[in-house]
Structure 1
């Protein structure tokens, strides 16, 4: 597992919001909903010079929308969406989150052990989570990552 660090200023994600209270498979359902209605937010998405999306995020937060870690790592909110410009307004049926800026440890999400392996790494290195973990899908490479906030900006 290759662990890398980066800093990311506050950013906006517009997506479909759900919670662990919605039951098993709720994240997959959110992504299906977001993907099938993407045309409604495509014009709001940040893009590179070639017109490619800059980021597709599975942003997470505690139930208070404070971006604290999920309760026991198992209960909280999830937003399946796309990174957008700060001034973007969420269309009806979509939700806008302004994710705070953090220093992150991030790793490629290759299997179901990624989360627990990084949590173990953090414990072994006396590093605390500063917020909720986020999923990131890199449109350019097609790779999936997990971002673990370790310091607020």
Structure 2
């Protein structure tokens, strides 16, 4: 029916079209780790047969999105990073990761966590600075109002003293 070469070509095409997109590594997939609790065969079959991949947009990576994420998204990303670090520690303790893989992954996620914490500190400083600026403007307006009231009182006193 099929010769060895034609069977090899068919398997290569299937691997290229089906398997390769599922295992392709990109920064968009860094936080997507398999769930160890996924043991139900029905769920596993549906996940494997109906993969949902993000839209293809090369500029849409995790690093590009960080600059304009709201605080809630930053919290979700921070939670995902720290959860991933904990899972790496757990897998290493259970001897599921080699020493080299453990150190590479831990350093990678440690750098992401540091960047995120630094960005969070910067955003907190910016939000603290905004009320101070608004307060300074409000204080200046109040000072001007007080000066106008005092000027009006002085003018009314001087008018009363002259009469």
- Which has more helix, going by share of residues? 2
Same-fold status (TM-score > 0.5): no
Give the structure with higher Rg (CA): 2
* More strand, by proportion: 1
TM-score, L = length of structure 2: 0.18
